[in-house]
Structure 1
C-alpha cells in the first residue's frame, strides 16, 4: 500500500461497509472538512458521482491492486461502469504518452500516465465532471460533510427537506387541548388527520368493506391469572386497520424518497435503487429520521384510542429506540410524565411538549407514583436499579416500578425482591415489537407481577400498546418474551437463507416473497423483513445487537432447564456473525449479510 498519494492518482478507495471502489484523488473541496487527524485523501468515485475524504490506509493504487479488488460476483450497480471509466483513462493516457514521449523514455513516463490526461479531447477532466454535476460556484449546492457517513446521492438534499415536515411536537399542545369524540367514525378520523399527500388521505376510501375483526382465542385454562388486553373493554377501543395501513403507506412513501440503495440481482420491484456507495447501503449508517412520528401517524392512532389518562404521576427511564416512542405516546395521550436518560440530549424534544426532565433515576421515582423503564440489557437494568442514585433509593410504600426491558428471569426476580423489601410494588412488562410499533402505540406488552399495579397502569399500557397480557407471577413475562424472540430469530434466519438461495438459483426474490404471501407464511414479519432484506434496507427497527442478546438469554434459559435449542443456537450464531461484520446497530434484516458472506 502506498503511504503517499498525489492528485490525479487512480486508486481503489474503500468506505466502511462498501467494496473497494475505483476512484481518483482530486483537489479537496474547501467546504468539506476532514474530521480526523489521520492522513486522508479527497477521492472522487467513478460511476457514483460522489466524493469523500478517505484515510490513507483505505486507499490502494489502481493498477497494482486491480486483480485483488475486481469483483466477479454480486457486482453492485455502477461498479462495472466505474472500472470502464478508469480503464478508458489508462488507455487514453498510455496512447497519449506513447505518441508524445520518445520510445527510449517510455519506461520513465509510464509511472505518471495521468499527467497527460488533459490532452485527450474525448475525455473531460475530473474537475469538468464535478462542475457538470454540481454546477457553477455562483449557484452553491447544499454543504454536507461526507467524512463521517457513506456517500449520499444527488437526492439527499431533497430527503433532508422532507424530514423537516410534520413534526408532531409542532402541534402537540393544541392537539392535547382537544378531546376526540367517543366512538368517532372512521371517515371522521380520516378527515381530521389527513395530510397534504393525496394517497394517504384516500387510503380508507379504497376499501369498500370494513376489515373483519380478528377472532379472539380464549387463554389457556391452566393459568387462571392469564388476562389479555383488558378483555371486552379493549375490543371497543381497537385501532382501525385502515389507520395502521395509513401509517405504513406514509413510511413507505418516505422510504422510497430516500437516496439510492443497493440493488440485488433479479430485483424488479424497486424504484431506481442503485448499489453505488451511498448513504443507505449496504452497511447502513442509520438514516436520520424525526425523533418522533409525525402528526399523521402515531398521534392519529393515539387519538383514535380515546384514552382517559390516569391522574397518577408517571416517570419514564430510557429513551432508546423503543422508549422514545413510548414516551411520545404517553405525552400525546395526556399523561403527566417525568423523564431521565443517560444521554440528556434525547430528552429535548419531549420537554418541549410538557415532559419534566430530572438528573437521576432516584429523582424520577421520588417525584412519581409509577416509574417505567426500558433499557438495553440486564446490566443496564441493574445499574439504574441498584446503582448510585438508582431507583431503589427512592422506592417506598405505595411507589410502583414497571420494567419493560428484555432481561433474564434471575435479574427480574432479584429486582422484584428488592422492590418488595422496601414496600414498593413491582411489575415486569417486556414488549414485543419494533420501533415502528413503539411510535404508533402498537406494541404487545407481556406483564407479570403485582396485579393491582397492572390495573393502575391501564391507561399507560393502552397508550403504548395494541395488546396487553397479564401472565401471573414474576418471571413469566421474561420467559414469554424470550420464547417469542427465539421463534422470531429462527424465522428471520430461515427467511434470509431462503432469499439467498433463491438468488443463487436464479429466482426473482420478489416473486419468492409473493409466493410466501399467498400461503400460510403470510404475516407482517415475513412481508416487512423480507422486503427489507431484498432491498438491502437496514434502517433500525429492531437492532441486531439487542435481538442477539434476547436469543442468547433464551439459550441460557434452555440450558437451565435442560431443553435443547439447536435451531435457536444456529440462528444466534448468524446474528453474532452479523454483529461482528459491523451490523450491530442496523435492523435484524441485516442478518442476510451474514448468510451471503
Structure 2
C-alpha cells in the first residue's frame, strides 16, 4: 500500500543522481513551480535539510524518516550528508516549527532580525563601584596581618573586574599583550562585519584584457552563476567580444551584465537551450549537481550539439557523475577548474585546468584566453579536479601556517608588519603569502577567496585521500581550524580570516 504523506512529515527523499536525503514535506518556495506533467497526487514538495533547497519529488521516491533512518544513515558517509542528518535531528530535538513558504534567504533574514531584537532586550551589565569600608587599626598592625588566602581572593576579584572592563570594548588591534575581547566564555572577538564588496565595473576593460587582443569565437556561450568568481569571468567574456547568455539564482545580479551586452535566461535549461556551450561556476559539488539534475536543470536541454563545461570546485566523483549524465544524452563534457581568486578572475589571469572532451577544450580556447593566462588539458574526466584539490591543499595548509605564525608573533610581542617585511626578503616570499599577511594585519578580511570555499576544498582533498589511503595529517588539522573559523561566522570572509581562530 502506498504511503500517504502530509504537510510537515519528516521523510527521506531521493532525486535522480543523488542518494536519499533527509527532508520535510513543505509548501513550495515562491519560485518553485510544479512540473507541468506532474499529477497533483503524484508529487510532493520537499525541503531538504542541510542544503536548504526545495524540489518536487515523486511519492514513489519518498520514505518515512524514522522508519528508514537506521538503514539509510549507514549507507552514506559524506560530510554534507552527515550535516543534513545533524540538521534534521536538531530540528526534531528542539521541536522547531518550520515556516513553509519562506525561501531560505528570507528565513535567514528573519532569524537574523530575531537575534538583533533579543540582543537589544538583553540588559547591559553595570559595574558597581565598591566603597572600601573603614578598617579598624590596632597596635599590632591589623592591615599587615591579613591572611595570604584573603589577599589572593582580593587579587582574583581585582583581576576579574579588570577583565570585565576590558570586555566592554573588544579590540582586534594587534598589540604585544593579549587582550580580552567579547564578553563570552571562550575569549574570542566579536564577529567582524564582512567588508562591503564594491560593485563590479562590468563594462570597463582591464589592461590585461586589452593586451591579449583576443579573436572571439562565433559560438554562443551560456554562463550559470555570477558569484565572486563567475562575475569576473563573465565580465571578461563580454568585454572580449563573446556572445554570452547568463543566469543566476538571484536574478538582480544579471542586470549589469545585460546592460553590458549579455542576454539573460530565466532558468539553467533556458540558457543551455540558447547556447552552444554552457559554463557553470557555482558554490560546491551539491550546487553543481542541483544545476544539472534539478528542476529546469541543464540535463533537460542537453543534446548532441551542446557542450557543458563545469568550472565549480568539485571532487572527481561528482565530475564523473555529471559527465556520465551529459554524455548519456549525447552532449560533450569538460571540467575546467580554476586556480586564482577574485582579483585574478576580474583581471583575466586565472590558470585553467581542464579534462574531458578534447574537441570541447579546443572550442573554448578563446574563452580561456579571456579568463586566464594559461590553460592545461589533463586528459580524462577527474584529472583536473584532482589537480585542483592537490593545489588547494597546499594553499590551505600554507595559509593556516601563516595565520598561526602571525598569531605567535603577536603573542610574543613582535610587530606583525616587521615579520612581513622580513618575510618578503626571504625565499618564502610569494604574492599569495604576502597578500594574505597584509589582510591579517589590516584585519578586515575582504573576500578574495571565501573561507568556506577553502574549507570545502580541504574536505574534498581529505575525501580523496581516504579513497587512496594516503595519510594527510597536516591537511586534517588545518581543516579543523577552518571549520572552527567558519563556525565562528567567518565563512563568507576571505580565507585569511582563519587567523581569528589561530589567535583566539
SS of 1:60's equivalent in the other structure is coil
Preserved contact between residue 224 and residue 246 of structure 2 (Cα < 8 Å):
yes
Query: What secondary structure sits across from 2:424 in the alignment?
Result: helix
Supply the distance in 2 between the matched residues of 1:434 and 1:386 (Cα, whole angstroms): 28
**Inter-CA distance 39–508: structure 2 relative to 1 (3 Å threshold):** closer
- Distance in 1 of aligned mates of 2:297 and 2:236: 25
Q: Please, which of 32, 47, 59 is the counterpart of residue 124 of structure 2?
A: 59
- Residue 440 of structure 1: how far off its partner (Å): 1.1
Asked if structure 1 preserves the Cα contact closer than 8 Å seen for 2:272 and 2:278, the reply is yes
Q: Select 2:192's aligned residue among 280, 284, 301.
A: 284
Q: Distance in 2 between matches of 1:429 and 1:37?
A: 42
Instruction: Tell me the distance in 2 between the aligned counterparts of 1:517 and 1:332.
Output: 35
Indicate how the Cα distance of structure 1 residues 490 and 339 shifts in structure 2: closer, same or farther if over 3 A, else same.
Answer: same
CA pair 518-318 structure 1, distance change in 2 beyond 3 A: same
* Cα offset, 1:286, TM superposition: 2.5
Structure 1: runs of 5 or more not aligned: 1-34, 42-53, 81-260, 268-274
Partner of 2:263: 356
Relative to 1, partners in 2 of residues 1:581 and 1:303: Cα closer, same or farther, differing over 3 Å? same
The 1-side partners of 2:460 and 2:262 are apart by: 34
Residues in 1 aligned to 2:392 and 2:116: alpha-carbon distance in whole angstroms = 44
- Distance verdict in 2 for CA 1:304–1:562, change over 3 Å: same
Structure 2 CA distance for partners of 1:396 and 1:39, relative to 1, 3 Å: closer
For residue 430 of structure 1, the aligned residue among 321, 333, 337 is 337
Aligned residue for 2:174?
264
Cα distance change of structure 1 residues 69 and 321 upon mapping to structure 2, 3 Å threshold:
farther
Partner of 1:569: 476
Partner of 1:207: none
2:464 maps to 557
The verdict on how the C-alpha distance between 1:522 and 1:60 changes in structure 2, with shifts beyond 3 A counting, is: same
Structure-2 residue corresponding to 1:326: 233
The alignment partner of 1:582 has SS state of helix
The structure 2 residue matched to 1:481, chosen from 388, 391, 395, is 388
Please tell me whether the aligned partners of residues 284 and 586 of structure 1 are also in contact (alpha carbons under 8 angstroms): no
Deviation at 1:377?
0.8
Once residues 39 and 400 of structure 1 are traced to their aligned partners in structure 2, the CA distance between those partners, rounded to angstroms, is 47
Shift of 1:459: 1.0
**Alignment equivalent of 1:394, drawn from 301, 312, 315:** 301
Partner SS state of residue 372, structure 1: strand
Pick closer, same or farther for the CA change 1:40–1:449 going to 2, 3 Å.
closer
Deviations 1:344-364 (A, max 9, x none): 111111111111111111110
CA distance in 2, matches of 1:349, 1:513: 38
The structure-2 alpha-carbon separation of the partners of 1:400 and 1:63, relative to structure 1 and needing over 3 Å to count, comes to: farther
SS at match of 1:55: helix
TM-superposed deviation, 1:457: 0.4
Going from structure 1 to structure 2, the CA distance change for 1:63 and 1:374 (only over 3 Å counts) comes to farther
d(CA) in 1 for partners of 2:484, 2:346? 29
Does structure 2 conserve the Cα–Cα contact (< 8 Å) formed by 1:293 and 1:440? no
Q: After superposition, give the CA deviation of every residue in 1:283-323 in whole Å (9 maximum; x if it has no partner).
A: 43332233314777x62221121111110001000111111
TM-score when normalising by structure 2: 0.66
Displacement, 1:263?
A: 2.8
Q: CA RMSD in A?
A: 2.8
* Structure-2 separation of matches of 1:417 and 1:432: 25
Q: Which runs of 5+ in 2 are unaligned?
A: 1-111, 130-156, 183-188
- Can you list the C-alpha shifts for 1:374-394, whole angstroms capped at 9, x where unaligned? 011111111110112111111
Partner of 1:193 in structure 2? none
Deviation at residue 511 of structure 1 after TM alignment = 1.3
SS at match of 2:471: coil
Contact kept, 8 Å, 2:203 with 2:260, in 1: the verdict is no
Using the TM superposition, give the Cα deviation of residue 61 of structure 1 relative to its aligned residue in structure 2, in angstroms: 3.0
Deviation at 1:436, TM superposition (A): 1.0
Residue equivalent to 1:368: 275
Structure 2 counterpart of 1:176: none
Give the alignment's TM-score, normalised by structure 1. Answer: 0.56
Query: Is the Cα–Cα contact under 8 Å of residues 352 and 376 in structure 2 kept in the other structure?
Result: yes
d(CA) in 2 for partners of 1:369 and 1:456? 10
CA distance in 2, matches of 1:62, 1:344: 50
Listed as ranges, the matches of 1:146-295 within 5 Å are 262-265=172-175, 283-293=191-201
Matches within 5 A, 1:128-139: none
Distance in 1 of aligned mates of 2:388 and 2:128: 54
| Conservation of the 8 A alpha-carbon contact between 1:264 and 1:535 | no
- Whole-angstrom distance in 2 between the partners of 1:38 and 1:591: 25
Query: CA-to-partner distance for each residue in 1:21-44, whole Å, 9 max, x for gaps?
Result: xxxxxxxxxxxxxx9578859xxx
Change (3 A) 1:58 1:546: farther
Aligned residues: 357
